[in-house]
């Protein structure tokens, strides 16, 4: 139980459309905080990590330089987040998890704060409930996507996909397509048509709508990992790379194909 000098100011309950495995995976994933939850956190620096949980220095949003040191400790069927330094020092957040189905987990979050004036409790209750509803909405969307991509997939055909003429294709860019059981995005970089994987290899994050930087790199919105779209290599020096994309080819009639064009049509790379 929390120390007796703490007051429970709020309780937030909800059912999450994700398995307990995905939820615990999310709990241990300190790295996503300033990316997936960018409206609440601006930075994170891991200080320690182990089977017990993790400890990190976290920059808060909005700006102004406010930071906290947060420790998250894992216990059977629950975890406890304690603020060790910064605003809210000594506050504790207790989160209990209860699996109710293969793809559903119930959570109960208790907010325990020190030195609270009872008159302020209703306002604090509303603020914490509003904040955690948004955080769990964002987490749930990530967990649901990961679960869908990790589920067994039926073998997909790899027949060439017609994309129209180069002019028509350029008018539709950036364009996302499904081919060979994967999702790909076609973009234009300095006049060159480039195909890249629309799924981050780190944690299956969505690159479908990620902005392309001036240097031809894209950043995953879940964890901030960057990749060079031309080579697929990590732009952060990590030992990760995007899945190798299919070729774009131009047939004799000017049509662009994803994958090998039909043998009846002589083809050439559609780089430009």
Residues 54 and 34 in one domain: yes
d(CA 202, CA 199): 9
Give pTM, 2 decimals: 0.91
Mean pLDDT in residue range 189-212: 96
- Would you place residue 229 in the very low, low, confident or very high pLDDT band (cuts 50, 70, 90)? very high
> By percentage, how much of the chain surpasses pLDDT 70?
95
Mean pLDDT in residue range 162-183: 94
At 70 the pLDDT is 98
Residues 245 and 173 in one domain: yes
**Domain that includes residue 182, residue range:** 161-269
At 265 the pLDDT is 53
Residues 35 and 108 in one domain: yes
Residues 90 and 146 in one domain: yes
Residues 145 and 92 in one domain: yes
Residues 105 and 11 in one domain: yes
Residues 39 and 130 in one domain: yes
Greater confidence (99 vs 250) lies with 99
Q: Is 133 helix (H, G, I), strand (E, B) or coil?
A: helix
SS3 content of the chain, % helix, strand, coil (to 5): 20, 40, 40
In a domain, 97, yes or no: yes
Residues 10 and 139 in one domain: yes
In a domain, 156, yes or no: no
In a domain, 90, yes or no: yes
At 118 the pLDDT is 87
Residues 65 and 130 in one domain: yes
In a domain, 178, yes or no: yes
Is the per-residue pLDDT at 270 higher than 70? no
pLDDT in tens, 62-110: 877 899 999 999 999 999 999 999 999 999 999 999 999 999 999 999 9
Residues 184 and 137 in one domain: no
At 155 the pLDDT is 78
In a domain, 155, yes or no: no
In a domain, 166, yes or no: yes
At 9 the pLDDT is 96
- Total of domains in the chain: 2
At 263 the pLDDT is 55
- Would you place residue 156 in the very low, low, confident or very high pLDDT band (cuts 50, 70, 90)? confident
Task: Spell 240-266 as b/e; 16+ CB within 10 A means b.
Answer: eebeebbebbbbeeebbbbeebeeeee
At 34 the pLDDT is 97
pLDDT in tens, 107-150: 999 999 999 998 999 999 999 999 999 999 999 999 999 999 99
Residues 14 and 133 in one domain: yes
**CATH code at position 114:** 3.30.530.20
Residues 167 and 145 in one domain: no
At 72 the pLDDT is 98
At 65 the pLDDT is 84
In a domain, 1, yes or no: no
Mean pLDDT of the residues in the chain: 93
By CB atoms closer than 10 A (0-12, 13-18, 19+), residue 177 is middle
**CATH code at position 201:** 2.102.10.10
Q: Are 257 and 161 in contact (CB under 8 A)?
A: yes
């Amino acid at each position: 139980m929390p120390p007796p000098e703490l007051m429970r100011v709020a309780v937030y309950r909800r059912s999450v459309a994700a398995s307990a495995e995905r939820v615990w995976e999310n709990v241990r994933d300190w790295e996503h905080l300033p990316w997936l939850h960018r409206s609440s956190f601006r930075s994170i620096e891991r200080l320690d990590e182990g089977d017990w949980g993790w400890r990190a220095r976290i920059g808060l949003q909005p700006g102004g330089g406010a930071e906290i040191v947060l420790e998250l400790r894992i216990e059977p069927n629950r975890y406890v987040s304690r603020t060790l330094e910064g605003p809210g020092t000594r506050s504790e957040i207790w989160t209990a998890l209860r699996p109710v189905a293969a793809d559903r987990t119930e959570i109960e979050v208790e907010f325990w704060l020190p030195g609270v004036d009872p008159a302020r409790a209703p306002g604090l209750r509303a603020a914490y409930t509003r904040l955690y509803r948004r955080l769990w909405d964002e987490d749930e969307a990530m967990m649901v996507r990961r679960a869908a991509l990790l589920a067994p997939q039926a073998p997909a055909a790899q027949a060439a996909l017609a994309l129209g003429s180069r002019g028509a294709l350029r008018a539709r860019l950036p364009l996302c397509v499904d081919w060979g059981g994967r999702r790909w995005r076609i973009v234009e970089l300095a006049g060159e048509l480039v195909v890249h994987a629309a799924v981050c290899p780190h944690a299956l994050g969505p690159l479908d709508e990620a902005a392309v930087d001036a240097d031809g790199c894209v950043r995953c919105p879940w964890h901030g990992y960057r990749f060079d779209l031309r080579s697929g290599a990590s732009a952060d020096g990590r030992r990760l790379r995007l899945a190798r994309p299919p070729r774009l080819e131009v047939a004799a009639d000017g049509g662009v194909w994803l994958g090998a064009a039909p043998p009846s049509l002589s083809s050439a790379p559609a780089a430009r």
